[in-house]
Amino acid sequence: MNRRSFNMLAPVLGALLAIFSIVSPAWAQAALQVKFATSAGDFVVELYPDKAPKTVENFLQYVKDKHYDGTIFHRVIESFMVQGGGFDAKFSEKKGRAPVMHEGREALEKGGARNVVGTLAMARTNDPHSATAQFFINVKDNAFLDPTLIPPGDPVPKFEYQGKVYENTPRANLVNAPQLFGYTVFGKVISGMDVVNKIKATPTGAGGPFPTDVPKTPILINSATLVK
């Protein structure tokens, strides 16, 4: 995923494939933690394999493959999020594997987290099922990024979205509407949030192929390792 994902949020909101194996039972029961050692300091994220198993499995494979080592945070918006995991220090995009199926709505139905401060989510293009390696950390509560839960029924008797009420809508129309998928939260920063706040506050400008939001002093991910 590249910067297009968030650049295209405005028109989407205005207008209103490989599947990875399920995380093993042992992993589902244990707390999984990944440590990011960056040029701005270290932070640790805890993952939610019980809520978003495909997404966590996908993310952990990139960690095991050392994909994130040597990548940068290439998009930083202080009032929004910090995004990385896809480009090296020379702004060359790293090749990813096949996309992971979106499971944000299923995660929420299992009591998963929303896009609030400190949560970790997968970045993607406008295609809900396009997430590969890039991720972002929310640095404010971004409710508009949350998946929309669909009420029961087919047709759905009543559905409210962005101040409008829709009645007797075929369920498939809502389930498959791209603007209702949101972004899959699959973890949260549990230590080192001060480092994330340092990253979000770094001065930004143009860099490589990107006209804005690139840290003027590169924020490098030296390593991402499974620690628990």
Dist CA 64 CA 197 (whole Å):
26
- The model's pLDDT over 24-59, given as tens digits with 9 standing for 90+, comes to 444 444 579 999 999 999 999 999 999 999 999 999
Residue 66 reports pLDDT greater than 90:
yes
- The model's pLDDT over 195-210, given as tens digits with 9 standing for 90+, comes to 999 999 999 999 999 9
Dist CA 196 CA 55 (whole Å):
22
Dist CA 213 CA 160 (whole Å):
34
- Are 160 and 190 in contact by the 8 Å Cβ rule? The answer is no
User: In the prediction, which pLDDT does 30 show?
Assistant: 58
Q: pLDDT band for position 20 (50/70/90)?
A: very low
Residue 166 reports pLDDT greater than 70:
yes
User: In the prediction, which pLDDT does 222 show?
Assistant: 98
Q: Can you give 80-103 as a three-state secondary structure string?
A: CEEEEEEEECCCCECCCCCCCCCC
- Are 150 and 108 in contact by the 8 Å Cβ rule? The answer is no
Mean of the per-residue pLDDT values of the chain: 89
- The model's pLDDT over 77-132, given as tens digits with 9 standing for 90+, comes to 999 999 999 999 999 999 999 999 999 999 999 999 999 999 999 999 999 999 99
Task: Kindly state whether residue 170 falls inside one of the protein's structural domains.
Answer: no
Q: Which residue carries 């809508």 as its tokens?
A: 169
Instruction: Answer positive or negative: Cα dihedral of 132, 133, 134, 138.
Output: positive
Task: Kindly state whether residue 111 falls inside one of the protein's structural domains.
Answer: yes
Dist CA 125 CA 74 (whole Å):
16
Task: Kindly state whether residue 165 falls inside one of the protein's structural domains.
Answer: no
Domain, as residue range, for 129:
4-147+182-226
Give me the CATH number covering residue 191: 2.40.100.10
Q: How many domains does the chain have?
A: 1
